[in-house]
Amino acid sequence: VGSEEDEPGLLERLRDLREEAESHLEAGDPASALRVLAALAQELPEDGHVHFLLGRAHSAAGDGGAARASYERATELTPQDPRPWNNLALLHLAEGQRDEARRTLQQGLRVAPEDPNVLTNLANLDVSRRPAQSHALYTKALAKDPNHEPARLGRAQARERLGDSSGATSDYERLVAYNGPLAPAALDGLGRLARRAGDPHMAVAFHQRALAGRDYPGFRANLGIALIETGQLEPAREQLEAAADARPERVSTWQALGVVYARLGEKDRSQLTKAKQAYERAIKLDPEDWRSRFNYALLAERFGKFDVALRHYEIAFHLEPRAWSAAANMAKIYAETGKTKKALELLDKALEASPDEPELHIQRGYLLAGEERTIEARTNLRKFLDLADPSDPRREQVRAALPEHASGS
């Protein structure tokens, strides 16, 4: 920029331009920011921070190509600054280039191993598939900045996926206490946890608070799911239909719509056709989601289409070997048509993945008893007694069938 003596006031003018540009960006006025930054770039063409600000302004204005060019130039001029690497990765991600986004974030991490934004965005890429790995990255980000809300939300979601309800609750509650922009997402998370803990009414309350804070289709869908579990089918249908209209690509919304239509179909059979269409939409969006296949098979049974049911149960069980209900339902259909051997083969396969599921043991026990394989049958029935809930009404019937109980011992 030359010395102060060569051009008096230059440094102050450049500083003022930079501050003005940042002020426009914070105010959500990218057009004004771009005008100021164009003047600044004339004076400082090799300033990496100016190109970083240009990237932010172009991105806010919706010009992804110009934003990418500015961020790339910023990484060339100031390669040790993690911010352009981070924002460039977000552009790649917005364009569906996950691998390129990962490489860019990893470069940002190499130059700034403790940057909480880079750590958080890298963790976000893997939280659904590798939650334990993402959890470690979120925790590292929070060690650097305990008030980093995106990292705390990410860690809460990772803990939720890992089954750490207590840890997830702690992170979600802290975000709610911050009362920042991520508080609605935290309330939605608390709603999911409440529903899984068996308190759907509390879940409804959390989801309603989340939706009041931000009208987001995912929150609306989760409210609909909680309403189903409280038996409020019509309100659930309204919420889920609105969520599906807003985000028709969300598989879980169509799955839940299928459930609510199927339940409404108990009184109005015309709703069953809507359930079928909802499940078919879910399957089209994601053919490898076993839940859609399983629910579609349940519905096919209600229509008496057992061949269709068997096909989709089989796909569901293939996709998720722990989906023991699919195998159990197939076994029932085969047993009812006299194909006991096939039914037993399915139950044996299901027990390999779910050895502690009482339903599989009682079903296998009764099938074996019908085949006069008494010793094996008793083994399964005893296992059922060991595993079944004490309130299961079938326990007395099973106890009566076993010689040690029938004799009073």
| pLDDT higher than threshold 80 for residue 1 | no
Per-residue pLDDT reduced to its tens digit, 239-283 = 999 999 999 999 999 999 999 999 999 999 999 999 999 999 999
Q: Percentage of the chain with pLDDT > 90?
A: 83
Phi, psi of 175 (to 5 degrees): -65, -40
136: left (phi over 0), alpha (psi -120 to 50) or beta: alpha
224 or 8: whose pLDDT is higher? 224
Q: Taking 50 as the threshold, does the pLDDT of residue 53 lie above it?
A: yes
pLDDT at 406 over 60: no
Q: Could you give the percent of the chain with pLDDT greater than 70?
A: 96
Q: What is the mean pLDDT of residues 64-73?
A: 92
> The dihedral of CA 120, 122, 125, 127: what is its sign?
negative
The token pair at 231 is 């038996």
Report pLDDT for 48. 87
Q: Report pLDDT for 24.
A: 85
Residue 408 confidence (pLDDT)? 44
- The pLDDT-based confidence of 40 (bands split at 50, 70, 90) is confident
Give the pLDDT of residue 403.
83
Residue ranges of domains in the chain, CATH in brackets: 8-109 (1.25.40.10), 153-247 (1.25.40.10), 339-409 (1.25.40.10)
The reported pTM is 0.83
In the DSSP assignment, the letter for residue 8 is: T
If you search the block for the tokens 């029932």, which residue do you land on? Answer: 332
pLDDT at 2: 39
Q: Lowest-pLDDT range, 19-23, 347-351, 368-372? A: 19-23
- Between 396 and 25, name the one with better pLDDT: 396
What pLDDT was estimated at residue 5?
44
Contact status, residue 74 vs residue 51, Cβ threshold 8 Å: yes
pLDDT of residue 16: 79
Residue 7 has pLDDT above 90, yes or no: no
Mean pLDDT for 218-223 is: 98
- Predicted pLDDT of residue 15: 82
Task: Name every residue whose Cβ is closer than 8 Å to that of residue 301 and which is 6 or more positions away in sequence.
Answer: 309, 329, 333
pLDDT at 206 over 70: yes
Q: Are 313 and 297 in contact (CB under 8 A)?
A: yes
Q: What's the chain's average pLDDT?
A: 93
pLDDT in tens, 226-249: 999 999 999 999 999 999 999 999
pLDDT at residue 213 above 90? yes
Phi-psi region of 21 (alpha: psi -120 to 50; beta: other; left: phi over 0): alpha
How confident is the model at residue 19, as a pLDDT? 84
User: What is the Cα–Cα distance from 322 to 314, expressed in whole angstroms?
Assistant: 12
CA dist 231 and 203 (Å) reads 13
Helix (H, G, I), strand (E, B) or coil at 114: coil
C-alpha closest to that of 241 among 220, 227, 269, 226: 220
pLDDT at 143: 98
Q: What is the pLDDT of residues 79-120, one digit of tens each?
A: 999 999 999 999 999 999 999 999 999 999 999 999 999 999
Q: Across 28-32, 49-53, 195-199, 404-408, which has the greatest mean pLDDT?
A: 195-199
pLDDT at 69: 94
- Write down the pLDDT at residue 138: 97
Degrees (nearest 5) of the Cα angle 238, 195, 233? 25
DSSP 7: S
